[in-house]
Amino acid sequence: MGASERVAAMRRERERQARIEAATARTIRAQAPLDRAIEARSLAIERYDERVADAEAASAAETALLAKICGSAEAAAEILGWSVRHLRRVVKAERERETGSASPAPRNSDEVSPRDGGADVRRS
């Protein structure tokens, strides 16, 4: 290998190294917006989850109030077009949420007593 070939090889190696450094800098600069976008998505999901939880709580509270006003889960379920079983689950979950813990279940898990803030929905 002659001197001119060595000089050309060194020049190619310096050019290659410069391309590597430029590509590395671009890659690092591109990573910052990606990190920000990922964080923004995470925060958006968190806000969305909070809105869904708030809406679920409001819906459950209104459902429990409807059952209480109707005097029975059957009537409230018929009004809403839900199954009685589903309505009772919603009322029970709302009652537990209001008390802040899972309280012991009534003798019959389908029962909700007025003192618990729900309607009396005992089967007749």
Residues 102, 95 contacting (CB under 8 angstroms): no
Q: Which residues contact 109 (CB under 8 A, 6 or more apart)?
A: 92
Q: Which of 66, 103, 115, 104 is nearest to 88 (CA)?
A: 66
Query: Which has the higher per-residue pLDDT, 107 or 102?
Result: 102
Q: Is pLDDT at 7 greater than 80 in this prediction?
A: yes
Is the model's pLDDT at 1 over the cut of 80?
no
**pLDDT of the residue at 116:** 40
List pLDDT tens digits, range 49-62.
Answer: 999 999 999 999 99
Report the chain's mean pLDDT, rounded to a whole number: 85
Both structure tokens of 22: 């430029």
Q: Is residue 109 very low, low, confident or very high in pLDDT (cuts 50, 70, 90)?
A: very low
Contact (CB, 8 A) for 119 and 68: yes
CA distance 40 to 46: 10
Residue 66 has pLDDT above 60, yes or no: yes
Run of H or E including 76: helix 73-80
**What's this model's pTM, rounded to 2 decimal places?**
0.55
Q: What percent of the chain has pLDDT over 70?
A: 80
In the prediction, which pLDDT does 108 show?
A: 46
Residue 37 has pLDDT above 50, yes or no: yes
Q: Mean pLDDT throughout 26-39?
A: 95
